[in-house]
Structure 1
Amino acid sequence: MNAPVPVQDLPFRSTSLGRSVRARLQFLKSGSKTYLADQHTPHPFHITRPFSISGDPEGMATLYLQSSAGGLYHDDDHHLSVEVEDRAFAHVTSQASTIIHNSHQSGSRVDVELKVGESSWLEFCPEPAILFPGARLKSTLTAHVHPKSRLLFCDAQLCHDPEGGRATFRELDNTISLSRSDGDVFYIDHALVSGGDWFGATDGHRCAGTFLVYDTDCAARISSALEGCIAGFDASNVYAGQTHLADRSVVVVRLLTSTGAHLTEAMQAIWSAIRVAVTGKVPMPRRK
């Protein structure tokens, strides 16, 4: 009887259908409302119509990103630009997690560029990337912020073996950077980890997430609120901590969880705590 061969070790014959895709979204404010002024969303990008949710900051538009593909495959190269112009408010999320499939000898790439104008507010909160066995992902998130803007975004990954074992992805190369509108880069976060090192680096946890907030007015208040939020987590399910970089008006939260459900619940709680710190109101959850 032949021994089974892990899928990530099977011979690979390149029939690359990798897509190099550039998508963009631009939000403007008219009167008291934010609207989607310009969009280019080629396959596999797809979006819903922007809508408002009761209890959100006045005029904030919520938009869901969707995909008409089954995830990211080898040689896929996707770039998304989100621009929120002066005084516009937008919440951008995704309908579901993105599966990163076996990348074989190549890899998948995702680049997200955020631009936040004066007195604008952007929340960019996609669902986690699910790293399948053999996946290789290079991910960059670059944000350009006006000194008088507010930015909140999350970035999360989940190591998953569909066969229920501990097979892992090949490599995750992840970079987050913040720069001011004059081009001055004031925050860089880079992580490079192989699948073989993942469980050692995360102390056995399958899921990892980052929340980052840039807010020159409320960073200290947000940091205090997040201390209380994190203290309320069940330590057996969620391991988390936060840092306030006062000189840069940045607050960063890191968290590790053993399941995707615990990751989703923790990320939702952190987002809600930030909203309460800024607006005094508990936000309505985004239905997925």
Structure 2
Amino acid sequence: MNIPVSVQDLPFRSTSLGRSVRARLQFRKSGSRTYLADQHTPHPFHITRPFAISGDPEGMATLYLQSSAGGLYHDDDHHLCVEVDDGACAHVTSQASTIIHNSHQSSSRIDVELKVGENGWLEFCPEPAILFPGARLTSTLTAKVHPTSKLLFCDAQLCHDPEGDGATFNELDNKISLNNEEGETFYVDRAVVRGENWFGATDGRQCAGTFLVYDAGNAALISSALEGCIAGFDPGCVYAGQTHLADRSVVVVRLIATSGANLTNAMQALWSAIRVALTGKTPMPRRK
């Protein structure tokens, strides 16, 4: 006798359609200009043509990352390597946030590898990842830097419940590490949080983010500039704190925010403060 079974009671079965994708961007310097020397961007990665923005450091190339997919789904495994060769200067951002969909009994993975050569300058500033109910994300960012290079990047997540019924993501496993030229790790940041613990860890706030800067020659200057910037935040919207690891030339800002808009505005303010400290010029916002 056949007994009706609701769709909700059926076990989830992976369709094994997860995409394992490896993408690469390489920037080089020619004269005073930085150009995209090599790129491999298979589906769903897509990029704009690099362009220059008035007021940026001389020769800096700005490039937008885009996606032709609707986000990351279960079993998706995306790896992106961004290389900035000696003397090159690049700003890489994303057109929009990346949605992490319900992973069911599986997971999604984002693996970012950054390499900055001698006197290179890389700003890697993607929009936050949006964690939908049921999402399970493993996010790894690894950077290799030279003692004379400049590196700054944003890493942020947003907990989103579109139905408003209190559902949360499953788990976020997030790791950031910095390595020197010899491959030795000198900074590691690791956090694993379950969705049901998110709002307890963030004091009820929807968003969390990290803004990290490596610059051996200007870390103290940058730390001072960021301290002044943080002092201007409304703690009811954005709560932030800074750590300056002088022995490693690393400055880290941690933020929790009540909304994605507040988080984005805070990240842009921090980036702008660094640019002013290093160049004396307020950068033009990247339009999204």
* Structure 2 counterpart SS, 1:134: coil
Q: How does 1:64-143 map to 2 (within 5 A)?
A: 64-143=64-143
* Structure 1 counterpart SS, 2:79: strand
- Give the equivalent residue in structure 2 for 1:197: 197
- The TM-score, its normalising length taken from structure 2, stands at 0.96
Gaps of at least 5 residues in structure 2 are 1-5
Query: Matches of 1:137 and 1:57 in 2, distance apart?
Result: 35
2:274 is equivalent to residue 274 of structure 1: yes
State the number of aligned residues: 282
- Give the equivalent residue in structure 1 for 2:229: 229
Alpha-carbon displacement from aligned partner over 1:41-95 (angstroms, at most 9, x marks no partner): 0000000000000000000000000000000000000000000000000000000
* Structure 2 counterpart SS, 1:235: coil
Deviation at 1:11, TM superposition (A): 3.9
Query: Matches of 2:11 and 2:129 in 1, distance apart?
Result: 25
Alpha-carbon displacement from aligned partner over 1:121-168 (angstroms, at most 9, x marks no partner): 000000000000000000000000001100000000000001123211
Query: Matches of 2:26 and 2:272 in 1, distance apart?
Result: 25
Identity %: 82
- Give the equivalent residue in structure 1 for 2:244: 244
Query: Matches of 2:266 and 2:11 in 1, distance apart?
Result: 39
2:157 is equivalent to residue 161 of structure 1: no
Deviation at 1:10, TM superposition (A): 7.2
- Give the equivalent residue in structure 2 for 1:148: 148
Deviation at 1:235, TM superposition (A): 1.0
Deviation at 1:16, TM superposition (A): 2.6
Query: Matches of 1:26 and 1:137 in 2, distance apart?
Result: 26
Query: Matches of 1:213 and 1:113 in 2, distance apart?
Result: 16
Gaps of at least 5 residues in structure 1 are none
* Residues 10 and 226 of structure 1: CA distance in aligned 2, closer, same or farther (over 3 Å): farther
Query: Matches of 2:10 and 2:138 in 1, distance apart?
Result: 22
2:44 is equivalent to residue 44 of structure 1: yes
* Residues 104 and 122 of structure 1: CA distance in aligned 2, closer, same or farther (over 3 Å): same
- The TM-score, its normalising length taken from structure 1, stands at 0.96
Query: Matches of 1:265 and 1:79 in 2, distance apart?
Result: 27
- Runs (4 or more) in structure 1 with deviation over 2 Å come to none
Deviation at 1:33, TM superposition (A): 0.2
Alpha-carbon displacement from aligned partner over 1:25-48 (angstroms, at most 9, x marks no partner): 000000000000000000000000
Deviation at 1:14, TM superposition (A): 1.9
- Give the equivalent residue in structure 2 for 1:61: 61
- Give the equivalent residue in structure 1 for 2:263: 263
- Give the equivalent residue in structure 1 for 2:3: none
Query: Matches of 1:75 and 1:196 in 2, distance apart?
Result: 22
